[in-house]
Structure 1
Amino acid sequence: MKLRSMLAATTAAGLGLAGAATAQEYRIGITQNNVGVDSYQTTYEKAFIAAAEANDMVETVVLDAGGDVARQIAQMEDLIQQEVDAIIIWPTNGEAVIPAVRKAFQADIPVIVTNSNIAKQGFDFVASFSGPDNITQGARSAEIMCDRFKEMGIEDEAQIVQISGQPGYTTAIERAKGFEDRLPEVCPNVTLMETQPGDWNREKSQQVMEAFLVKYDDIDGVYAGDDNMGVGALNAAKAAGRAGDIVFVGATNFAVGYEAMANGDYWGSIYQSPVDDAEAALQTAIDVLEGKDVPFLNYFDTPKITQENMGDFSKPVF
């Protein structure tokens, strides 16, 4: 990988820069999914910038697509034109970004996908994926829910609903798949009645749950693709006076989920750190540029957390 001049001017207006302005070895661009949508992504960005500023080997171009696929594709094309040494992408849509990722590959710029992978047909154009194993997360959430139902003695009759993430978003697809594949293996008689998207948004998820509560008289459990949505569902159940009858399980333990667990309202989740996520993405990009042997699927661990073991974990900062 040839090194490019660190003195090149930024060609697009409005690009945020992190890192020292002195001579550096690598210039790495990142285009994120939607920083303002939730506290996980906000914390990720802060951690990424902090890690870059602490490393005098890199200069970073930090961009946010704001959830807009077209904007992210344009950001990818701009980073290619700038001839950055590597690009990190948190995809807004796992399929739609593939042509832009292919362009970077053709320009000899390694692409590291962070947090949520692109669709498999784009794997040939990616140097490495850095992030959580979302299939495993979904499977572990199913195990948490099943274990709780067994403790309650309702594993042969429980009925549940699912609130998934943003449609077309790989993380949402994989967490739902992991949950749906694993649940019948561990609790074959539990019935998943319906799945609706909450788009990672607490208010929308509350509305989805309100509709579920009107439609179904008997709901024993709710699985949400992250705790932000799960707490939205919890809020709806509380307002309807039905929260005490429902087991709430999420993925990606947010501070609000941790607090709800401490209050006894929310049963369990999957512990995932946005700081670890951001730092791993930056280090993966550096390792690729240095020619190190980096696994294609570079996962970090995301353990189960419930009311029973939450004392082993620190409250999330997001």
Structure 2
Amino acid sequence: MKTILTALVATTALTGAAFAESHTDTITVGITQNNVGVDSYQTTYEQAFIEAAEGMDNVEAVVLDAGGDVARQIAQMQDLIQQQVDVIVIWPTNGQAVVPAVRAASQANIPVVVTNSNIAEEGFDFIASFSGPNNVQQGASSAELMCEALADDGQDPSEATGQIVQISGQPGYTTAIERQEGFEDRLAEACPGVEILETQPGDWNREKSQRVMENFLVKYDQIDGVYSGDDNMGVGALNAAKAADRVGEMALIGATNFAVGYEAMAAGEYYGSIYQSPVDDAQNALKTAIAVVNGEEVPFLNYFETPKITRDNMDEFSKPVF
């Protein structure tokens, strides 16, 4: 297997029915990622994708990174289309903005698998499958954890009350939108007595999230809980709470359990999160892409499992490597 790492990036779409007859014995998979350097989840995902591809004799991988730049991702997608790769895996920088590029791939008869964070619904006709977590369900599960955390001893979680703040992911990014939507909708159902005081984006960045939380702590005298769209941001919030000596007064909930979140959970500083493996994420995306090229039927929404994790059950899960 040959892996090509380059500074370019791309995306594409269409199912692989008639296409399955046209590829050669070697399958060339082009993957365009969102922003490998922004956090350890994406770094681990890339490594796992490369390792999985290297384990297949008939797969050549062109591994690209958009660096969080939509224009760069669109340009790189055009490059992959020109290379006539057999299938494109795209981790969108912006689910709405990449739809025209996905449509262009579809028109070039190159199937596209969207990974990790889905594109906007109007692009669904141009993709073969989405491979990744159910982000709406992750947000909903995090809301249930928040209800549990804010309930008094012996109290039904549905009767929990409190005031919380939310640190969301990158604006316009489908994962951020879906996790926020899932969290807010389920929170209103599961424990309507819990109020969201304010939501601000942390852009998946720990340092920015720490600054956001510092502002929350200045603005609000009472904060009973913090929901962050991933543990990288959640630990930024935790660091701010530590610096202000206010950790004990609030429950911190995240999604996508990072190693730092796992450690904070073990220390009793972080209530819970959602366990999501970047290795499973990457492997599932590659398997889905290969199946599409081979003309196999795959689910349109090909989710992998992401269970709740708290201090009570964390021994059942391996510490994340990212």
Shorter-chain TM-score: what band?
over 0.9
Match of 1:20 in 2: none
Helix, strand or coil: the match of 2:290?
A: helix
Alignment of structure 1 residues 247-266 onto 2, 5 Å? 247-266=251-270
1:192-217: per-residue Cα shift (whole Å, max 9, x none)?
11000000000000000000000000
Task: Report matched runs for 1:283-294 at 5 Å.
Answer: 283-294=287-298
Identity of aligned residues (%): 73
> 1:3 is matched with which residue?
none
1:57 Cα offset (Å): 1.8
Kindly report which structure 2 residues correspond to 1:95-244, keeping only aligned pairs within 5 A, or say none: 95-152=96-153, 155-244=159-248
**Is 1:83 matched with 2:87?**
no
List gaps (5 residues or longer) in structure 2.
10-23
Amino acid at match of 1:169: Y
- Structure 1 residue runs of 5 or longer lacking an equivalent are 1-5, 17-22
Q: Normalising by structure 1, what TM-score? A: 0.93
Q: Is the 8 A contact 2:6 2:63 kept in 1?
A: no
Task: Give the structure 2 partner of residue 94 of structure 1.
Answer: 95
The alpha-carbon deviation at position 171 of structure 1 amounts to 0.1
Number of residue pairs matched by the alignment: 304
Deviation at 1:151, TM superposition (A): 3.8
- Give the RMSD, CA atoms, in angstroms: 1.8
Deviation (angstroms), 1:13: 7.2
Determine the C-alpha separation between the residues in 2 that align with 1:194 and 1:264.
25
| Higher RCO structure (Cα 8 Å, ≥6 apart) | 2
Q: Report the residue type matching 1:160 in the other structure.
A: I
Structure 1 window deviating more from structure 2 (152-161 vs 176-185): it is 152-161
- Secondary structure of the 2:32 match is strand
In the aligned structure 2, how far is the partner of 1:160 from the partner of 1:47? 36
Query: 1:150: Cα distance to partner?
Result: 1.6
Tell me the distance in 2 between the aligned counterparts of 1:149 and 1:99. Answer: 44
Note the C-alpha offset of 1:88. 0.3
Q: TM-score, normalised by structure 2?
A: 0.91
Q: Which amino acid aligns with 2:281?
A: D
The one-letter amino acid paired with 2:113 is I
Runs of 4+ aligned residues of structure 1 deviating over 2 Å after TM superposition are 12-16, 151-157
CA distance in 2, matches of 1:87, 1:313: 32
